[in-house]
Amino acid sequence: MRYTPQGNAVTSFAVATNRQWNTEDGTSKEAVEFHNIVAWNKLAEICSQLLKKGTKVYIEGRLQTRTWEDDKAVKHYKTEIVADDMILLSSKGPYESWQSAPEGTKASAPKPKEAKSEKKEKEEKETAVEGTEEVDTEEMPF
């Protein structure tokens, strides 16, 4: 994890996705793709604390492609996933559960099952309030 000059936390890491299949002649094949992930602010802090090599994780975000030119005027492209949400899928790690983690690490991040960006949490709260409506069960067709 590092910080921008404005004080925003940013963490960059790679996630591997594996794919296995059998060919027509019955041999097993496997392919691995690596994806570059960038997380910002509180989500960056959480990712830097909880993720390590081998951790199974679900990442949700948007694709972003950056371009730049090197000293030889060659144009380069890098596509990254800018993370909005992160959910830990494996519980492997130094602690059996989040509740047994030392107090210093528990206070710095929410439960690892669902770590959402502040923007996403605000959107969900606004949607929940707007969608609240009394439903008359007598009007239901079943």
Average pLDDT, the chain: 77
User: What is the pLDDT confidence band of residue 136, given thresholds at 50, 70 and 90?
Assistant: low
| Cα–Cα distances in angstroms (integers) from residue 44 to residues 1, 2, 3, 28, 86, in the given order | 7, 9, 10, 37, 10
pLDDT of 72: 93
Write out pLDDT tens, residues 17-65: 999 999 999 999 999 999 999 999 999 999 999 998 888 999 999 999 9
User: What is the pLDDT confidence band of residue 90, given thresholds at 50, 70 and 90?
Assistant: confident
Q: Which domain holds residue 113?
A: 2-130
**Does 140 reside within a domain?**
no
**Does 115 reside within a domain?**
yes
Q: What are phi and psi of 22, to 5 degrees?
A: -110, 135
**Does 139 reside within a domain?**
no
User: What is the pLDDT confidence band of residue 99, given thresholds at 50, 70 and 90?
Assistant: very low
Other residues' Cβ atoms within 10 Å of the Cβ of residue 37: 19
pLDDT of 108: 37
**Does 61 reside within a domain?**
yes
Task: Please count the structural domains in the chain.
Answer: 1
**Does 141 reside within a domain?**
no
Q: What CATH number has the domain bearing residue 105? A: 2.40.50.140
**Does 8 reside within a domain?**
yes
- Residue 94 predicted with pLDDT over 80: no
- Residue 103 predicted with pLDDT over 90: no
Q: Which of 110, 53, 64, 118 is nearest to 87 (CA)?
A: 110
